[in-house]
Amino acid sequence: MSRQTIAFGALFVLGLICWQWFKPLSDQPANQQDYQPDFIAKNLQSVQYNQLGLPYRGLTAEYAEHYEPLTMTIMEKPVILLYSPDGKPQWQLSGDEGMINTNDNAILNGSVVGKGLQPDAVIKTLNTEYLELDFTNNQLRSNRAVTLSSPNYQATGLGLLGQIDQQTVELLHDTQATYTTP
């Protein structure tokens, strides 16, 4: 090898070392994509209808960002309205923040309040800090502290499993209830 080839190789290696040494550091892994929302909405309002033309799910939010590649919408102050099969409002669920995946599930966080809207609803109010709605299986789930109340009782517990279509809710752990007679 000639001196010229060795000098050129040394300069190339020195250039690689300097490039690695002075390149900007990133907080995120190289394979993590930086997604930008496909659209942003303020005062979002949406209603979905069944094949008979009756509403079955409604959604409002003060602010929403939709990410199409993830089929996900992130919301501030979401309110989800669930309807009975005959199109009457059944449940209103709200939270400080929320996320909904297209047709699969929704998650509500922070001061979650559920209100039973039917006149004969056994549960009038549900309070928790976290609630999952599984639209495929018509279930409500939570792994946090939950309070259920109506005019005749108040129940607290840790964790919840409920069937939306059957209007049933089960507190899973550490359940305490207080009943009053009218």
Query: For the segment 129-156, what is each residue's pLDDT rounded down to a tens digit?
Result: 999 999 888 899 999 999 999 888 899 9
pLDDT one-digit tens code per residue, 164-177: 877 788 888 888 88
Asked if 61 and 80 touch (Cβ cutoff 8 Å), the reply is no
Q: Count CB-CB contacts under 10 A for residue 146.
A: 26
Spatial distance between the Cα atoms of 182 and 180, rounded to a whole number of angstroms: 7
Which positions ≥6 away from 39 have C-beta within 8 Å?
65, 66
Q: What is the CA radius of gyration of the chain?
A: 26
Amino acid 17: pLDDT: 78
Among 69, 70, 71, 73, which Cα is nearest to 59's? 73
Distance spanning both ends of the chain, measured CA to CA: 101
Amino acid 30: pLDDT: 44
- Measured in whole angstroms, the distance separating CA 149 from the mean position of its chain's CA atoms is 24
The pTM for the full model equals 0.76
> Which DSSP symbol is given to 32?
-
Q: Span 40-179: which CATH code? A: 2.60.450.10
Q: Where are the domains of the chain?
A: 40-179
Among 144, 132, 138, 145, which Cα is nearest to 99's? 132
**Is residue 112 exposed (0-12), middle (13-18) or buried (19+ Cβ within 10 Å)?**
buried
pLDDT at 24 over 70: no
**Helix (H), strand (E) at residue 41:** strand 39-49
